[in-house]
Amino acid sequence: MEFEGKVVLITGGAQGIGAATARLFAKKGASVAVADLDGKRLEKLEEDIKESGGNFKSIEVDCGKSEDIEKMISETSKTFGGIDILVCGAIFRPTKPLMEVKEEDLDHAWSVNIKGYYLSVQKIVPEFRKRHGGKIVLISSTFGFVGAPNFSVYCACKGAIVNMARSFSFELAKENINVNAVAPGPIMTEGMEELIKKDPTIESHRTANMPLPRFGKPEEIAESIVFLSSESSEYIHGHNLVVDGGYLAV
């Protein structure tokens, strides 16, 4: 199998795109560790993957805290003997008008969505050096390229990740470490379903003018993440792969 012998660590992967990515990596032979705060969803994901014959470890941590990031890396390495691939997908997404955003919303968002990604990369590099290389895929968003009402915090965070992938590549490419990002468009995840419950108009207006006018599936984003983690992506560095049904073409 394509990823047999490889070890993958996914942050924020208990549901949505992260969970779909964990399932796909496991199906392709990788050993998978998922770090997330949601213990119940982690437990369910672990059951699903192990029942299918996959190697899986769940790690219940806060992906925005330095000590927890060190813990997830350490536990993954001890369990599977090293780490080859890091996928950063943890997210805190306050959806509020600009004038209603509180300082604690910003602090939490910066911690999980920016600092957490930065420290995860920084702290995993020593593990990759032991393997003489590695693959890093950051989950950005089409909202890292465009704005949207009530999503100012989310857009700011995803814009930071877009440039994080570019800047990290300058320092890590020569060490055989690929750093790239995947920018999903509107994807029907559990999080999107919650947003639609709060504002049903999202379901129609988010896709109305797209060339392919539908929500994407988490599995479609997982395929892109797996590609950027594969040997086929050796010459791809600092790239943001947009997977959006043409959302940004509008």
So what's the pLDDT on residue 204? 83
Q: Are 167 and 121 in contact (CB under 8 A)?
A: no
What pLDDT digit, counting tens, does each position of 59-98 carry?
Answer: 999 999 999 999 999 999 999 999 999 999 999 999 999 9
Where do runs of H (alpha helix) occur along the chain?
16-27, 39-51, 66-80, 103-109, 116-130, 152-172, 190-198, 202-205, 218-228
Of 117, 154, 235, 247, the active-site residue reads 154
CA distances from 6 to 41, 154, 183 (A): 24, 32, 24
Q: Give the separation between CA 214 and CA 192, rounded to whole angstroms.
A: 13
- Cα separations in angstroms, 199 against 54, 58, 95, 193, 203: 38, 33, 11, 10, 8
Q: 31-36 and 85-88 as β-strands: parallel, antiparallel, unpaired? A: unpaired
160 confidence band (pLDDT: 50, 70, 90): very high
- pLDDT at 202 (0 to 100): 83
> Residue 44 burial by CB count (10 A; 0-12/13-18/19+): exposed, middle or buried?
middle
Highest averaged pLDDT of the listed ranges 27-36, 89-98, 184-193: 27-36
Residues in the chain: 250
Q: What's the average model confidence in pLDDT over 149-176?
A: 97
pTM: 0.96
- Kindly state the average pLDDT of the residues 213-242: 97
| Percentage, residues of the chain above pLDDT 90 | 90
* Confidence (pLDDT) at 33: 98
In tens, the pLDDT along 84-133 reads 999 999 999 999 999 999 999 999 999 999 999 999 999 999 999 999 99
Q: Enumerate the domain spans of the chain.
A: 7-249
Q: What is the CATH number of domain 7-249?
A: 3.40.50.720
Q: What is the mean pLDDT of the chain?
A: 96
250 — pLDDT class (breaks 50, 70, 90) = confident
Quick check: helix, strand or coil at residue 170? helix
Instruction: Compute the average pLDDT of residues 165-171.
Output: 98
Q: Which DSSP string do the residues of 43-89 spell out, in sequence order? A: HHHHHHHHHTT-EEEEEE--TTSHHHHHHHHHHHHHHHSS--EEEE-
* Cα separation, 29 vs 226, whole angstroms: 12
> Any catalytic annotation for residue 235?
no
DSSP secondary structure code for residue 216 in this structure? B
pLDDT band at 23 (very low <50, low <70, confident <90, very high): very high
Q: What mean pLDDT is predicted for residues 41-70?
A: 97
User: Looking at residues 221-236, what average pLDDT do you find?
Assistant: 98
Q: Say how far apart CA 236 and CA 230 lie, in whole Å.
A: 11
**Structure tokens of 115?**
């600092």
H-run or E-run covering 96: none
User: What residues pair up with 59 in beta bridges, in sequence order?
Assistant: 35
